[in-house]
Amino acid sequence: MNDAPSAVLPIEILIAPHPVLRRKARPVRPEDAALLRALLPRMYEAMYAAPGIGLAAPQVGHELRFAIVDLHENETRTPITLINPEIIRAGDQLVAREEGCLSLPNQYAEVVRPETVRVRFQDLDGRRQELDADGLLATCLQHEIDHLDGVLFVDHLSSLKRNMIMRRLAKERKGKG
């Protein structure tokens, strides 16, 4: 059987409340390498086209623990691929920053998170890496790692705000359907 045609199909970004977005992703194992290498270019293409600055595997229907991030600073692409990422340290100082999500299109809210984090992950070659981040990068990393744990940015809000956003999203989706 030839899988080549599926490799060129565009990736669909899942929209909340899709159940895959609420599941904890399983760790990436060595036998997943071929899938990752096939999926990553398509994920980057989908993220850039959206446009977004981060995308986690569950958002495209794969319950695997990896995500991509690129802040496009100075109009330059600086992609980061995070395999099996974990936050190993978070700063004590908290900051509120407006967040959005490709799985909750056109929905935004202020989310309070640590200003700094250290993330441990593997790169595509399996090497362990650590990344210290602050500001927008720290927020983005926390947001994407949340996705790997089945957590959406709206889960950091009050139930009232979360419900308002989810109702608004459902209404917008119904209008397009």
pLDDT beyond 70 at 4: no
Q: What is the pLDDT of residue 23?
A: 98
Catalytic residues: 144
For the whole model, what pTM was predicted?
A: 0.92
Query: Secondary structure of the chain in the HEC alphabet?
Result: CCCHHHHHCCCCCCCCCCHHHHCCCECCCHHHHHHHHHHHHHHHHHHHHCCCCEEEHHHHCCCECEEEECCCHHHCCCCEEEEEEEEEEECCCEEEEEEEECCEEEEEEEEEEECEEEEEEECCCCCEEEEEEEHHHHHHHHHHHHHHCCCCHHHHCCHHHHHHHHHHHHHHHHHHC
pLDDT beyond 90 at 16: yes
Mean pLDDT confidence for 104-113 = 97
pLDDT digits (tens, 9 = 90+) for 114-150: 999 999 999 999 999 999 999 999 999 999 999 999 9
pLDDT digits (tens, 9 = 90+) for 79-108: 999 999 999 999 999 999 999 999 999 999
Q: What is the pLDDT of residue 174?
A: 87
Q: Quick one: pLDDT band at residue 175, thresholds 50, 70, 90?
A: confident
Q: What percent of the chain has a predicted confidence (pLDDT) above 90? A: 87
Q: What is the pLDDT of residue 9?
A: 66
Domains of the chain in start order, with CATH, are 4-176 (3.90.45.10)
